[in-house]
Chains A and B, each alone.
Chain A
Amino acid sequence: MNLGFEYALPVLTDPYVIGLIVAGTLVGVIIGALPGLSSSMGVALLLPFSLYLEPIPAIALLSALYCAGTFGGSITAILINAPGAPPAVATAFDGYPMAMKGEAGRALGIAAVSSVSGGILSLLVLLFAAPLLARIAYSFGPPEYFALGVFALSMLASISGEAPLKNLIGGCFGLLIATVGIDLTTGVERFTFGVPELYEGIQFIPVLIGLFAVTELLSQAQELGRERIAVALSALKLPTLNDFRRVKNAILRSSGIGVFVGVLPAEGSTMAAMIGYNEAKRWSDQPEEFGKGTIEGVAGPEAANNAATGGAMVPTLALGIPGSATAAVILGGLQVQGLRPGPYLFEEQPGLLYGIFFAMLLANILFLFIGLLGAKVFARISLIPPTFLWPTVFALCFVGAYGLNQSIVDVWIMIIAGLVGFILKKNGFGPAPIIMGIVLGGLIETSLAQSMIIFDQQWSGFFSRPIAMAFFVLAVVSLTGSQFRSLFANLLSRRRKNT
C-alpha cells in the first residue's frame, strides 16, 4: 500500500474532503474559544466518527481541528479575559488590556496573523525536517527537562517587572499548587485531604478559568456603579500594515521557539506561549508597555503556541511519541485506522504526511479568514454592556469547569481560584507568575527527582549533560540579562567617546 503524493493529491482536492477540513476548522475554532472545551477533547469526541472515513480524510479532519482549536483560544482570551484553552493564557496578558482600551479588533487581527504565520512555518518544518528533528526528542532526558524548566522559571524575573518581590511570591504560590496530588517519584499523596479528585493534582483548566475570567468578573462587578468610558467603535478596526511590520520579528522568534518546544514530547503549546511572550518582551524596544496592551505581547505567544502544534506533530508522526495531549489523541486516531505511527509510517505511507500537511495548511489559511473577517464581528462582544456580558461569561465558566471531567470538584476549584485571584489582584499580584509556577512546578520537581536517580544522587551528573548545561547558562544570562545589557551599553558608549 504505497500512498504517495500522486495518491494524496486527488484525495485532498476532493470537495468532500475539503468540506471536512472546513468543518473541522470551524468546530475547532469554536471549541477552542469556549473555556473548558479543549482541542484534545474535541478531537477525542470526533474520533469515533473519523472511523467511518478513509485514513487521509480522517487524519485531515482531526489535525484541522487541532490547529484551529489552538487559535480559537485566543478569541476569548482577548475579548473576555477567559483563555479558551491553556495555550492562550499568555495571549490574555496583553490581548485583554488591548480590548479594554477599545482595540479588540486590532488585537484579534494580530492574533490571527501571528497564529497563521507560526502555524505555517511549523508546517514547513514538519514537511521537510520531521525525521531529522524528531531525533531531538531522544536527546531530551530528565536532566535536560529540569534545565529547561529552570530556564523557563528564570523568566519570573522579567515577565512583569514592576514588583519583583510580588512576582516571586506569586511564583512560589503557583509552585505550591503544583505540589498537590500523588508525587510521581515517591507515590506519596500530598495535600489531597482524602479527596480522590485531587490524587492527580489540581486540574489546570478550572484554575485558569477562575484566575482569569472569575477574577475579572469580580473586578467588573465592583466597578459597575462607576460611569463607563464608552469604548469607541475603533474596537472594530483591524491592525494596519505598520502594526505587522512591528511584530514581524516577534513572530519569527516565537515561531522558532514554538517549533522547538513543541517537538519536545513532554512540553506543549502552553510553555511555548509563555517563553514566546517573555522573549517578545525581552527583545522589545518598549518592554515597559507589556501587560498594558501591546501588539507584540499578543503576537509573541500566539505565533509560539500555533508553531507548537506543527512541532508537536513531528515526534507524533516520526516516532510514534505524542508531542502534546491532543497529538496523543490523533495518535490514537491513526491506530484506530490500523496505522502505526513511527519511522516506518513515512516510508510506507508518504501520502499521509502530505495529507496532514495540506489539511493543517488549509486550516491555517481558513482561520486567517475566520480570524480577520470574524474579528470585526467578534470584537463587538467587547461593546456589550458588562451587565449583560459578564453574567453570560459566568455561566460559561461553570459549564467549562464542569465539562472538563464532569466533576463538581473542578467547579469548586474554579470558584476558589477566582476568589483568591480577586484578592491577589486587589493587592497588586498578577496571574502570570502564578500560572508559570503551576505549569513548571510539576516538571521541575519530577525531572529533578528523576535526574538524581539517574545520576545515583550525584549533583555532578549534570556536568555530563551539555544540553542541560546550556540551558543553565541561558537561565543565568536571563536573570542577569539587564545588568549585562547596561554593562555592555556602558562599554560601547565609552569606546565611542574614546574614538
Chain B
Amino acid sequence: MKANNLRNFFIPALILSAIVCSLSSISVAQETYPSRPIDVVTHTSPGGGTDATARAVLRGARQALDANMSVLPRAGGGGVVAMAYVNNRPRDGHTVLAITPTHLFAIARGQGPLSIDDLVGVARATDDPIVVMVRSDSQLQTLEELIDSGREQPIKWGTTQIGGVDHVAGAILAQKAETQLSVVPFAGGGEIVTNLMGGSIDAAGLNLTEALDQLTRGDFRALAVMSEERIPVINDVPTTVELGYDVVFSTVRGYLVLEGTPEDRIDTLERGMMESMQQPEFQDYLQGSGLDASSIAGRVEWDNQVRRLYNDARAAMISLGIIQED
C-alpha cells in the first residue's frame, strides 16, 4: 500500500521536475559561447504557430551549434511580457527573442520597455504575406470591385486583434482606396476562415498558411497579395503594389537579440539557425504551411525588414489615429 502511494507521487514529481528543468536555464560560467543553454523567448503559450516554428528551428540549430536550446514561453500583453523578460536578461547571446508583427505594433504603441533601436535581427523563419480573399461565389472578381462595393456599403472585413497587423493592413488599404470597412474582429485565423465560408463576413486579409486549402480547392478567391512581388503558389494573383496601392503587410516570424550583444555571438546564432532552416526537415515544415525557401532570411535582410515593418506600422497607426505623432 505504501509502495503504491509512493509511486503515485513519485512518477508525477519526476515528470514535473523533468519538464521544469528543460524549461529553465542552469547557468554555468564559461568563456566559450554558447556556454549555457540558449533560451528562445516566445510570447504565446505552447502550441501556436510561433511556438511550433521556434521548435522546428531549434531542432536543427541544436545540432549545428552543439548547444542546448529551448523555447521559453513568456505569454501575455501581446509580446510585452516576453520583451520585458528579455530586457532583464544579460545581453550575452543566451537569450533570443522570437518576434512577430505583434511585438513591433506593441513597440509602436509605446508599450513595453524596448524601443526599435534595441533590436538586432538574427534570422527570419517565415514570411507570410497577407492576401485579400473573398468567397468564390462572391460577385466580386477583382480588388477594384471590392473597393467599389465598399463605397456603397461598408465591406464586412474579418480581422484578428484590433490594432494588429491584419486590421491595420485592411484599414490602410481602405484609407488609400477611399472606401469603407466595417471591421469584424475574431480570435484567430481559423475563425475568420469559418466565417468567410459561412457568409458572415464579405472579405478578409488572411495569411496564405491560414487559407491555402480553401484557395486551392476553390472555396475562396484571392483578389490581391499585400506584397511587392507575387507569391509562387498563387502566381496569377496580382499584388497590391501592381494595382497601384502601396500597402505591403506580411506576418513574419523571426529571431532577435538586444543591442549590445557581441557581434561574433550574433554571427554564431545566425549560422546555427540558418543551417537548421536549410535542412530538409524545416523545408518540409515550410511546405506544409504553404510557404517556400524564400521565407527564410539571414541577419542583414531580416534586420532591414524589421525596421521597415516598424516604420510602416507606425506610419499606419499615426494615419489611422491609433497613436499620436511625437
Chain A interface residues (CB < 8 Å from chain B)? 27, 30-31, 33-34, 37, 40-41, 43-45, 47-48, 51, 137-143, 182, 184-187, 196-200, 265-266, 319-322, 325-326, 328-329, 332, 334-340, 342-344, 377-378, 380-381, 384, 392, 399, 403-407, 409, 446, 450, 453-454, 456
In the complex, whether B29 has a CB less than 8 A from a CB of chain A is no
Q: How far is the CA of A51 from the CA of B305 in the complex (A)?
A: 30
Q: Chain A contacts of B19 at CB under 8 A?
A: 37, 45, 403
A454-B288 CB under 8 A given contacts A40-B46, A185-B162: no
Report 24 cross-chain contacts, Cβ distance below 8 Å, ordered by A residue: A30-B12, A47-B52, A51-B56, A51-B59, A138-B194, A142-B195, A142-B200, A184-B161, A185-B162, A187-B163, A196-B112, A198-B76, A265-B191, A329-B47, A332-B49, A338-B288, A339-B288, A343-B217, A403-B19, A403-B20, A404-B45, A405-B76, A407-B76, A407-B81
In the complex, the answer to whether A454 meets B200 with C-beta atoms within 8 Å is: yes
B303 on interface, CB distance cutoff 8 Å: no
Residue on A nearest B167 in the bound complex, by CB: A187
CB distance from B157 to the nearest CB of A (A): 10
Beta-carbon nearest neighbor of A399 in chain B: B16
Q: Taking the complex as formed, is B190 at the interface, i.e. its CB lies under 8 A from any CB of chain A? A: yes
Least CB separation from A36: chain B residue: B16
A335, B77: Cβ atoms under 8 Å?
A: no
Query: Top 7 A-B pairs ranked by shortest CB distance?
Result: A196-B77, A187-B162, A44-B46, A342-B213, A338-B284, A141-B200, A329-B47
Given A320-B213, A329-B47, A335-B288, A377 and B8 contact (CB-CB distance below 8 Å): yes
A33 to B47, CA, bound (A): 20
**B48 an interface residue at 8 Å Cβ cutoff?**
yes
Known interface pairs A30-B15, A200-B76; A184-B187 also in contact (CB < 8 Å): yes
Question: In chain A, what residue has the closest Cβ to B322?
Answer: A187
Interface string of B67-88 (1 = CB under 8 A from A): 0000011111110110010000
Q: How far apart are the CA atoms of A43 and B51 in the complex, in Å?
A: 12
Alpha-carbon distance A313/B78, docked complex (angstroms): 28
Complex Cα–Cα for A409 and B59 (A):
31
With contacts A138-B198, A343-B213, A454-B184 taken as known, whether A337 is within 8 angstroms of B46 at the C-beta atoms is: no
- Distance from A492 Cβ to chain B, minimum over Cβ atoms (Å): 42
Q: Which residue of B lies closest to A142 (CB)?
A: B200
How long is the Cα–Cα vector from A405 to B198 in the complex, in angstroms?
34
Beyond contacts A27-B15, A197-B76: 16 other A-B pairs, Cβ-Cβ < 8 A, are A44-B47, A48-B58, A142-B195, A184-B187, A196-B76, A196-B111, A199-B78, A266-B187, A266-B191, A332-B48, A336-B288, A377-B4, A384-B5, A405-B73, A405-B75, A450-B184
**A328 CA / B190 CA spacing, docked (Å):** 10
B23, B55, B72, B213: which contacts A47 (Cβ < 8 A)?
B55
CB-CB < 8 A to B290: which residues of A? 340
What is the CA–CA distance of A139 and B200 in the complex, to the nearest angstrom?
Answer: 9
C-alpha gap A453/B162 in the complex (Å): 14
Is B248 an interface residue, CB under 8 A from the partner? no
Q: How large is the interface on B (under 10, 10 to 19, 20 to 34, 35 or more residues)?
A: 35 or more
Footprint of A on B, CB under 8 Å? 1, 4-5, 8-9, 11-12, 15-16, 19-20, 23, 45-49, 51-52, 55-56, 58-59, 72-78, 80-81, 84, 111-112, 156, 161-163, 182-187, 190-191, 193-195, 197-201, 212-214, 216-217, 281, 284-285, 287-290
Inter-chain contact B285/A335, CB cutoff 8 Å? yes
- CB-defined contacts of B55 to chain A, threshold 8 Å: 47-48
Give every chain A residue within 8 A of B213 (Cβ-Cβ).
319-320, 340, 342-344
Contacting residues, chain B, for A329 (C-beta < 8 A): 46-47, 52
Chain A's closest residue to B22 (CB) is: A45
Whether B185 pairs with A138 at a CB distance below 8 angstroms is no
Cβ–Cβ < 8 Å partners of A377 in chain B? 4, 8
Nearest-neighbor residue (CB-CB) of A200 within chain B: B76
Q: Smallest Cβ distance from B172 to chain A, in angstroms?
A: 16
Given contact pairs A340-B290, A342-B213, A325 touches B74 in the complex (Cβ within 8 A): no
Q: Closest CB of chain B to A471's CB: distance in Å?
A: 16
Instruction: Report the Cα distance A456→B185, complex, angstroms.
Output: 14
Would you give the shortest CB distance from B293 to chain A, in whole angstroms? 14
Most buried by B among A319, A321, A322, A337: A321
Give Cα distance in the complex from A31 to B16, angstroms.
9
B312 → A minimal CB distance (Å):
19
Contact, CB under 8 Å: B194 / A265: yes
A392-B191 Cα distance, complex, nearest whole Å? 41
Chain A residues within 8 Å of B186, by CB? 184, 450
The residues of B that contact A339 with a CB separation of less than 8 Å are 288
Specify the chain A residue showing the minimal Cβ separation from B77.
Answer: A196
